[in-house]
Amino acid sequence: MSDTIDRRRSIGDRAAPDGVYPLPAWNVSAIRRDFPILAQRLHGRPLIWLDNAATTQKPRAVIERLVRFYEQENANVHRSGHTLGTRATGAYEQARATAAAFINAPGVDSVVFVRGTTEATNLVAQSWGRQQVGEGDEIVVSCLEHTSNLVPWQRLAHEKRATLKIAPVDGRGQIELDDYRRLLGPRTRIAALAHVSNAIGTILPLGEMIALAHRHGARVFVDGAQAAAHLPIDVRNLDADFYAFSGHKVFGPTGIGILYITPELLASAPPWQWGGSMVNQVTFEHTTPRDGSARFEAGTGNIAGAVGLAAALEYVIAAGPEARQHEADLTRHAVAALKRINGVRLIGDPAERIGVFSFVIDGLSAESAGRVLDQQGLAVRAGNHCAQPALNRFGHDDSIRMSLAFYNTRDEIDALASAVQRIAANGARVQ
């Protein structure tokens, strides 16, 4: 960690110095005190935040880092030699180094700052994709994709007269690997795959899926939006060509995310947007872009967001494997609790999963159930979760989604299960 980052950082009820190490035991009550928003009450009841797949809440370490940036360092980056410009540039580039270390990238220049996973997907589709995909070529996606990792490839396929192929899932929501293998061939240019399903929590077997695509010379883009807060990420071990995630889903600010691009592809992919400091030389006749990640960072980026993201990633690193073990315990508890409720059907039941659950209540719309749960302080998602094809695979247009983070508790899951049980028995009349 650099001098631009707080010298002491709160992790639960302890303060740890730079080079934070994981706590020996997980104290969820102490961890929750790091997240001010969780202390509030809604509709006269304690807030129970179970919509973490949509966005996660922010620890004080992130909030205070954003405040300090604006109070002490605010300036544009890579443009000025004055003191604040030097501070801001240092903080920004240290944030890039933190993100590179978080995903075990081979170097800091492989990390591009973007607004989030959606922008990263569009960047790759419009830059590398438009250059490499042609008529008759093939793009493979899975049935489980968020629309942000489906629609850009769908549009590219339409534009280039390429074929979009869909890897199916079984009744539990797990990738049918044999079917995926058969979809790949000499015309496959890219496979675009979620690391984790945002609708039902399935962890895809990425290592095998990436290796199979590479055997056919295809590249692989990984949507890591739902993985970054819950799983260790190693892009070199995965051998991913592109990997993206959003800051707001990993306890960081909104409007910031990262795109990892292998050094080989970074050198060959053309810029997507032009202007600002991504330009190397400009004349009225010709313009050349800068090398490396800078060629994809046109204009002034979300500098404070990048610095806040670094603080969030450091917080996750400090939380360590104990956080993942706590989430695994919560996940098992939630599956058992939902399966016990009469009139409730859990969508998908993958063997390898994180704590994201979609379910339906017989005879009641997801929207109606969501309104009743909100009145009881339970924040869940009701709708299609930007994953209509995934829900349609299981015969549903929408669902209720509960999603967990390491600050959630068994008591919160039990509170949701009790409320859902009452709704299933009595309908939307329950208050």
- Work out the end-to-end distance of the chain between its first and last CA atoms, rounded to an integer number of angstroms: 49
Q: Which of 323, 344, 386, 404 is catalytic?
A: 386
Tell me the two tokens of residue 328. 């695994």
Residues 358 and 239: their CA atoms lie apart, in Å, by 30
The C-alpha atoms of residue 5 and residue 11 are separated, in whole angstroms, by 15
| Kind of pairing between the strands at 219-223 and 242-246 | parallel
Burial class of residue 161 (count of CB atoms within 10 Å of its CB; 0-12, 13-18, 19+): exposed
Q: What does the DSSP 8-state code read for residue 378?
A: E
Q: Which residues pair with 175 in a beta bridge?
A: 169
Q: What are phi and psi of 212, to 5 degrees?
A: -65, -40
Q: Is 143 a catalytic residue?
A: no
H helix or E strand, kind and range, residue 99: helix 83-102
- Show the DSSP H helices in 216-350 as ranges: 235-238, 263-268, 303-339
User: Nearest Cα to 128, choosing from 220, 245, 235?
Assistant: 220
Q: Which residues contact 268 (CB under 8 A, 6 or more apart)?
A: none
Radius of gyration, CA atoms only, the chain: 22
Closest by alpha carbon to 257, among 280, 224, 282, 235?
224
The Cα 244–Cα 118 span in angstroms is 9
Cα 19 to Cα 6, 7, 93, 176, distances in angstroms: 11, 10, 18, 42
Beta strand 242-246 with 257-261: parallel, antiparallel or unpaired?
antiparallel
Active site positions, annotated: 386
